[in-house]
Every structure is written in C-alpha cells, then in structure tokens.
Chain A
C-alpha cells in the first residue's frame, strides 16, 4: 500500500476509535449540546426579535459554540490525556506521523456539529430567524472549515499547559477570543481599545464571514484571506513549537 493510502487507512482507524470512545461518554455529549443551547437561550433569544438581530445572533452564538468544542475542549482533552499511559502507549505504536492528532482535530470538528445544531434549533424555536436550508448548510460548512485555526490554537494550549493549568488557560483564550472577536456583542458596542484589538483576532474575521452569510450579504473576500493568513501563522508556530519541544531542531537522534 502506498504511503498516502496507509496514512488515510490509519487516520480512519484512529478516527473510529476516538469516535467510539467519545460517543460512549454520554455526559460529554449532553453538555456539548446543552452549553451553547443554554447560553443562546439566556443571551440570544431575548435579543433575537427581528431578522437582522436573530440571524446575526445565530451566526455569532453558533461560532461561540464551535469555539467551545474545537478550542476549549480540544485544549483540555489534549493536556489531560497527554500524560496518560494510554497516550504514551499510542505514541509507541506504528502509526503514521500526525495521524492521531488530525483524527482528534477532525473528531472535535465533527462534534461541533452538535453545538451548531443545538443553537440552530433554539434559534428556530425562540427567535425571528429567517434562514433557508441552503444558507444554513453554507453557514454550517463555513463554521466547520473556519474552525481549523481555533482547533490549532486549542491543541497549542493543550500541548503546553499542565493538566490542571489547562482549564483556566483555555477559558482565558476561548472567552477572550469570543468576547473581543464580537461574538457576544457587535464589535461597534465594544470598548474602543477592545475594538482595535478585535481587528487583530481570527475570531473577528471568522465572525465577519459568518455574518455575511447569515444576513444574505455578498461575502467579502478580505476576512477570508486574513483568516487563512492567521491559520498559516498558527500552523507554522505550532509546527515550530512541536519541533522545539521534541528536540528536532536541537538533537541528533534518529
């Protein structure tokens, strides 16, 4: 079997194993569904009284829910599992490079569909959203693909935080990116200093793309390019830090 074929096969095996493991943890599934839905019920539903507000809130809170899974949960899972004997054992198995990590990233991205679904259903029930299925599909696709830089940030946090230190650190990163990125309040309502900061954050550009889709506006390519640039920089930084941590740049072991 060629190298790529083997990689794909092993990726599939890792994904299925992780999926089984996660699916049997019912409390994980329940709270992944409940948290964004409850948050939207408290803060989104009372404000979603017209098309513009309801559709903006749907996009913002869906993004917040996705960040909760791909950034916060991935960071916590990575940090807490890294020191387990099972993870050490997996590192010793004949697995292709990056297979397990990418399977984990793909899994959290798949689970973020649950939070998108729960926010959508709550919005349908309690707000004045007007969104057709094709637009919702487009929104979901962008929510998933656009979450990649946040998954990388989540992994980065999980890689360097201790199992106990990861929760406050991941919370800090996740809540700051959400708030300053304009996912809770429109950016123009934020403090001027935060507004300036907002323009440097990937969450702001992620939200900009989602708002365009949810409000049936023509998509501005600017935020897409900035988000791609952010993704590349984060991926590069992550690769560099992994190499430094594993000593690829400083040691001579084969």
Chain B
C-alpha cells in the first residue's frame, strides 16, 4: 500500500450559516500532484487554507504523513503559497525570508538558489510592503519551494506571474513531480493541469469528481449559445458572455453528450481541440 502524504476525513467548514466544506474526504499518496478545480466559491482556496492551518475546520480530521495535521512536525512537512499575500510595513523581504526558512530549518543555500530562480535578489533589501502583486507572488512561491516541505499547497500559483516566471514555476513543478506531494488550484492556465496526476472537482464544498489521469495531451473547447448552461461533469474552465458559453474539458466528446442529453436548448455548437504545452 502506498504511503499517504495527506489524508482528509469528513472535513467541514462553515462561515456562519454558509457551508464552505461539507464532509470532504480524500487521500493523497506521497508524490502525487493534484489540481483542485471548481467554480468560484466551490471551496478550493478554503480547503487549502484549512489544510495549511489558517482556517479552523468545524469538524473532520487531517493527517499529514500519518501525523495529526496540527502537530508541529506535520506542519513542518507542509508549505502553503496563498493566492494573495501582503507583507507588513517595517520589514525587509530578506528578513521575512530568513524568518520563514528558520522555522522550516531550511538551508541558506537552498533559499539562495530558489531566490535567484524567482528573481528575488534585487527585492531582498526592499521594504516588504512595497511589492507589486507579481513580486509578492514570487516571494510566496519561493518561500514554499525553499521550505523543503514534502507537501506543497499552491493557490493559483501562476496568477500575476509574467511569462518568464510562469516558465520557472512550471520547471519547478516538473522537477518536484513524483518527489513532492502538490495540491494546486488553477483557473488561469488549463495548460498547467497537464502537470497534475489527478483532478479533484469541488462543487459547493463537496467532492463532485475525482479523476486520476494519465497526463492529458490536449484540451477540448466547447462553445455554444444558450440562455442557461446545465451542470456538466469534467468542466475545467467555464466562461460566459451573455448567451455565449465557452467550456474547457479534457474530454470534449463526453461534454457534448452531456449537453445534448441535458435537454437544455442551444445553438451554434462548436468543438475544438488544443495541444497542451
């Protein structure tokens, strides 16, 4: 039996009356890369925040390498790069990086290498509160990669990065594939999903689909006109402009079949395929 890096059992989270995560359960074998997918508000970022210890679940159980998720040893094994991160005034980036690295017992050489790859050398002496969104993102990614943690939680890792650093990110994800356990939320680049071994679809805080994939090589784009769009399984990305809908999926044919059988009237259906990377 393969060693589980992460085990989530009946995890529930609510903000007041709103249920964010609803008895969510799944396990992640060590070394697996998972893409978390779902519409806005499905609970993807909240799930990462709960796993990272930033939000406290109402009930449920988290285990990291078999250890309780709250234990310090388990938390050393886990690093989180949030979707957005602001740094406090009065600190320099260098000081923040050293502070975080000491908590992870990470080496200075490792930090230096990752820092150079993400172009942080020139940012290090800068006041931490004067970074752009993309620069802050590079810092948070560098901290996660330099931590040597075996479980990485990346929330929209490519968002706000320019093409050069998106390539750096992809390079890191490829290098860590099979060695680290990675959970990432991705909206902007369906292409990055080719790095995932498994896709978890969340819908209103529940796991709606769990697809293990042998790396897909193409993505299908389905476009059509309809006044409403039925709920279809396997949608990676969904965009709407008035009555015009554009859906992305790894299985375009299945999507067409679902659309037709849903009974929702539509017109001007078009299906195209695009190679990934």
Give the B-binding residues of A (Cβ under 8 A).
Answer: 6, 10, 13, 17, 20-25, 81, 84-86, 88-89, 91-96, 246-247, 251-254
Contact = CB atoms under 8 A, between A and B. Distances in A.
Q: Which 6 A-B pairs have the closest CB atoms?
A: A92-B52, A21-B90, A94-B75, A24-B90, A253-B57, A94-B76
A94 B69 CA distance: 11
A84 B72 contact: no
A253 B56 contact: yes
Give the size range of B's interface with the partner: 35 or more
29 contacts: A10-B103, A13-B102, A20-B91, A21-B89, A21-B91, A25-B89, A85-B84, A85-B85, A86-B86, A88-B54, A88-B82, A94-B72, A94-B75, A95-B103, A251-B56, A251-B57, A251-B58, A251-B59, A252-B59, A253-B11, A253-B57, A253-B59, A253-B61, A253-B62, A254-B60, A254-B62, A254-B68, A254-B69, A254-B70
A89 B85 CA distance: 8
A253 B58 contact: yes
Contacts of B172: none
A20 B56 CA distance: 30
B66 interface: no
Contact of A91 (B11, B53, B99, B140): B53
A94 B11 CA distance: 21
A13 B57 contact: no
Contacts of A21: 88-91
Nearest to A96: B72
B104 interface: yes
Nearest to B127: A24
B155 to A, nearest CB: 11
Contacts of B103: 10, 13, 93-95
Contacts of B76: 94
A25 B59 contact: no
B95 interface: yes
Interface string B43-60: 000000100111011111
Interface string B76-88: 1000101011111
Given A85-B84, A247-B56, A253-B57, A20 B90 contact: yes
A20 B91 CA distance: 7
Contacts of B58: 247, 251, 253
A88 B49 contact: yes
B150 to A, nearest CB: 13
Interface of B: 11, 49, 52-54, 56-63, 68-70, 72, 75-76, 80, 82, 84-91, 95-96, 99-100, 102-104, 140
A88 B86 CA distance: 10
A209 B70 CA distance: 42
Contacts of A86: 85-88
A253 B85 contact: no
Contacts of A81: 88
B72 A85 contact: no
Nearest to A97: B72
Which of B70, B88, B91 counts the most chain A CB atoms within 10 A?
B88
B8 to A, nearest CB: 11
Contacts of B91: 17, 20-21, 24
Which of A20, A22, A95, A253 counts the most chain B CB atoms within 10 A?
A253
B104 to A, nearest CB: 7
Contacts of B90: 20-25
Nearest to A3: B72
A130 to B, nearest CB: 40
Contacts of A22: 90
A252 B62 CA distance: 11
A17 B59 contact: no
Contacts of B53: 91-92
B52 A252 contact: no
B57 A92 contact: no
Contacts of A96: 72
A13 B99 contact: yes
Contacts of A253: 11, 56-62
B99 A17 contact: yes
A93 B147 CA distance: 11
Nearest to B99: A17
A202 to B, nearest CB: 31
A24 B89 CA distance: 8
Given A22-B90, A247-B56, A252-B60, A89 B82 contact: yes
A95 B49 CA distance: 16
